[in-house]
Amino acid sequence: MRILFTSWAWASHYYPMVPLAWACRAAGNDVRVFSSPGLRRVVENSGLPAVSGGADVDVAGMVQQRMRDGARSGTGRDGGSFRGLSMFAAVAEAMVDELISFGRWWRPDLVVYEPTTYAGPLAAAALGVPGVRHGWGPDFMHQASAHEPGLLAPLAERIGAGPVSVRGALLVDPCPPSLQCAGLPERQSMRYVPYNGPGQAPGWLLEPGRAPRICVTWGTSTTKLNAELTVVGDVLRALGDVDADVVATLSEEDRELLGPVPPNARVVPPVPLHALLPTCTALVGQGGLGTMMSAVTCGVPQLVVPQLPDQRFNAGLLAASGAGTVLERTELDRLAAEVAALPARQAAAERLRDENAALAAPVDVVPVLAKLAGG
């Protein structure tokens, strides 16, 4: 079976698909990952065969412009949660022709795509093969499902694909059901397996230290989109009097924005969260998908300070599950007290962990893909 995975150049959107692509390869299938050029190195670093084509689109610049427009119009920092769908259509326009061209040459049996890579379902329709929509965890993009067909209709007509279902023939859902939003169609549940990019587990993780250890991280996307939304320095200072080993694993961009750091905090370059979090009793973060779901798989309660629409969506579902709590950036004076209260959410966090672990492993989903492909 030939399986074509595809994602545009935003690493955190690609990462959730990696375990299933690995499983497909391990089962003896031929896998390729097609991306816009900016993701090629990320794909190669994940150990999968990379193909790139089309042009990169300055999505961060588009988001920043949308935020400025939203501030001027009074619609808020995000400029309206789904006004940004047009930028995903622009990404599809920039990569779909070369994706289809590669597909006609390589002849995949399936096309697997993450929710905002609209080139995926378009290419599947043009190639006449099933499309598989691979979720991230909580399905933020489900709210956009009514808007997507009309948005993509002109592009579908241009490539001669006819009506295109963004949902595809199958939805792979790597999320514990009790954390997922309501209203999703029938789907194939799958265990979320964290992949946070390549990295090493530092030796100090195994050293005895002060207890508890609190992980603070701000993901990979927020600062790229708008540095004004990065308040991780304020978070560390709010934890300055807490008797804990506060480990802030941050991108270089985030580290440059920190300001004074309290003595109980150690600031380190990015560490794979699935290696760090088992040594932690709590996580404080922005509510991005990779951060939140990695903590879910480790059974770690979370405090979320969300800044972007998808982060608020994730944070709301997490709080409803009982495994975390939410603060606004204006409420950081309460942060230390809320972190101290997180042990009360430990049981709920462990329930989510166990629920995720009971789902089908990626290797168990491969036969489902084979059946869909007619194998």
Residue 75 has what pLDDT?
Answer: 46
Q: Can you list the domains of the chain with their CATH numbers?
A: 2-192+359-372 (3.40.50.2000), 203-357 (3.40.50.2000)
Interatomic CA distance for residues 164 and 181, integer angstroms: 24
Hey, what amino acid is at 242? Answer: V
Interatomic CA distance for residues 204 and 183, integer angstroms: 44
Task: State percent of the chain over pLDDT 70.
Answer: 94
Interatomic CA distance for residues 338 and 312, integer angstroms: 18
Asked whether the predicted pLDDT for residue 359 surpasses 70, the reply is yes
Interatomic CA distance for residues 345 and 356, integer angstroms: 17
What lies within 8 Å, CB to CB, of 340 at 6+ separation is 242
Hey, what amino acid is at 149? Answer: P
Residue 321 has what pLDDT?
Answer: 97
Q: Could you tell me which of 323, 259, 260 has the C-alpha nearest to residue 295?
A: 323
231-281 pLDDT tens trace: 899 999 999 999 999 999 988 888 888 899 999 999 999 999 999 999 999
Residue 210 has what pLDDT?
Answer: 65
51-102 pLDDT tens trace: 999 998 888 788 777 766 655 545 444 444 556 788 899 999 999 999 999 9
Q: Are 61 and 88 in contact (CB under 8 A)?
A: no
Asked whether the predicted pLDDT for residue 325 surpasses 60, the reply is yes
From residue 100, how far is each of 60, 73, 87, 297, 320 by CA, in Å?
Answer: 26, 39, 20, 36, 41
Q: What is the pTM of this model?
A: 0.93
Residue 33 has what pLDDT?
Answer: 98
304-321 pLDDT tens trace: 999 889 999 999 999 999
119-157 pLDDT tens trace: 999 999 999 999 999 999 999 999 888 889 889 999 999
CB atoms within 10 A of CB 208: 5
Residue 225 has what pLDDT?
Answer: 76
Residue 79 has what pLDDT?
Answer: 42
